[in-house]
Amino acid sequence: MYRGLVDGDKMSKFLRRFGYVRNIAKLQSNSKSSTNITEGLKTFQRYIGINATGTVDDLTWITMIKPRCGNKDIRIQRRKRFILQGSRWPSRGLSFRIIKYPTAFPRQFVEIELSKALRLWSDASSLTFEHRKKRDKFTDRETDIQISFEIGDHGDTEPFDGPGNVLGHAFFPQYGGDAHFDNDEYWTTKSLEGVNLFQVAAHEFGHSLGLEHSNDPEAIMAPCNNVYRRTRFGFDSDYPKNIRDLFGRWEGGVWQSIPDNLDTALSWSNDQTYFFKGMYYWKTIRFTLQPGYPRKISEGFIGLDESKFFTGNLDAAFVYSGDQKTYFISGALFWRLNENREFRGQIEHDYPQFVINWLRITNKITDALQWINGKTYFFSSNVYYRYDHVRQKVEDVNPPFPRLISDWWLNCNQTNSNHDSTFSDIPYITKLYTRPRRYVVESERNRCRKECVGLCFRIIPFLLLVSVMFH
């Protein structure tokens, strides 16, 4: 137990504010409330990587009262430096404007530090940022990220609390991307005193660009990562994959030896992408075709052969969100790989199994993918399903699944242009060009080219895979 004085009310407010305890006001008894707080405390302890006792020890309380970001910690996942929230900006060229400066920190230093923080992200991606300094009522409405230094309750239901504690917060792209900083903080630059504006801004802009908190204490997106570092502050070697998924830094070219009309494609987190047709596959690393291909599928993915009732022509190859293993679907059957490694991974002994017994989807699966929001989508002709891997069934939501690809992925139905936030991460792929031995995809928001819809129905998941890497 903590040897000092623990403020029980402050602890429960902390757990509620940062997402560890939900709907506590709706509980019917004190015993249920106490149980909810205990479980929330255990969840927080697991998040910071200490023994989940459900009681407050020194490290638990000290971490709770540290200055930190005001955004919720939300999801507990394996330790990752960057966790994708799901929504993204439709354009790579973003604008920002500082609409309210701090009262006790020179304006020129504010502009330098905030621009430097945004440059940290642009250097790691294909994004560019335009600083709009001149106030204009017309361009203000179109500015992507508005930045302000606020005091207390400033109109967004997340009030600041004076010096210390919450330093700032920012909204994900689907909610506007604005970033707010607490004006009451003692903002500094290159000093061990006060709060380092550059490091806090780099963190908050990560939220503005679509990243959630990380439970790695050394990551930029760690909730409490605001102590000034004399050494280089930035990304280390494990950042590229998730940032590239969200913002894109595509390096590659055109592959003259890969045929048209591929069956499906598979992408792993090590930048390796595999393209399948018939009984053969091709391998690329960062979209560079590797020598020695095509190979037989059974060579690289051991056991996916006739002895396991596979006769070629995969319908889907994807990493399933439920266990992060690779699955293959062909017709009514599916197979699971025991590890995501070429030449090492083998089809598990109790496969194949029937797709309908797993997914409870009666329609034939024509492709599948795990999207950047961590959810798995299954496609069948012109409709799709979103799968709940926790409950192991198609998600039960309104409007129900299956849904039309044309309405929810291509945005052809203009009446659905204002989707709720659940679907704000879905891209609108509207132009498709097929050329000999290559595909080119362009994305536009709220527009659709009707003439391409029929073709998109057939290969939309493959295009989405390519689209992730292009963007």
* 203 belongs to an annotated ligand binding site: yes
* 236 belongs to an annotated ligand binding site: no
* 349 belongs to an annotated ligand binding site: no
* 130 belongs to an annotated ligand binding site: no
* 396 belongs to an annotated ligand binding site: no
Report which of 272, 285, 254, 244 is spatially closest to residue 468, judged by C-alpha positions.
244
* 180 belongs to an annotated ligand binding site: yes
Q: Is 111 a catalytic residue?
A: no
* 162 belongs to an annotated ligand binding site: yes
Place of tokens 């799968």: 387
* 253 belongs to an annotated ligand binding site: no
| Lookup: tokens for 43 | 């969840």
* 154 belongs to an annotated ligand binding site: yes
* 156 belongs to an annotated ligand binding site: yes
* 420 belongs to an annotated ligand binding site: yes
* 1 belongs to an annotated ligand binding site: no
The Cα–Cα gap between 373 and 210 comes to 10
**What is the crossing angle of helices 8-17 and 30-48, to 10°?**
70
* 368 belongs to an annotated ligand binding site: yes
Whether the ω angle into residue 240 lies within 30 degrees of 0, i.e. cis, is no
* 317 belongs to an annotated ligand binding site: yes
Measured from the Cβ of residue 300, the count of other Cβ atoms closer than 10 Å reads 18
* 316 belongs to an annotated ligand binding site: no
* 448 belongs to an annotated ligand binding site: no
* 176 belongs to an annotated ligand binding site: yes
Q: Which of 113, 150, 204, 212 is catalytic?
A: 204
Q: Annotated binding site: which residue ranges? A: 69, 144, 154, 156, 161-162, 169, 176, 178, 180, 182, 185, 203, 207, 213, 221, 315, 317, 368, 420
Q: Annotated binding site for Zn(2+): which residue ranges? A: 69, 154, 156, 169, 180, 203, 207, 213, 221
Active-site residue list: 204
Q: Annotated binding site for Ca(2+): which residue ranges? A: 144, 161-162, 176, 178, 182, 185, 315, 317, 368, 420
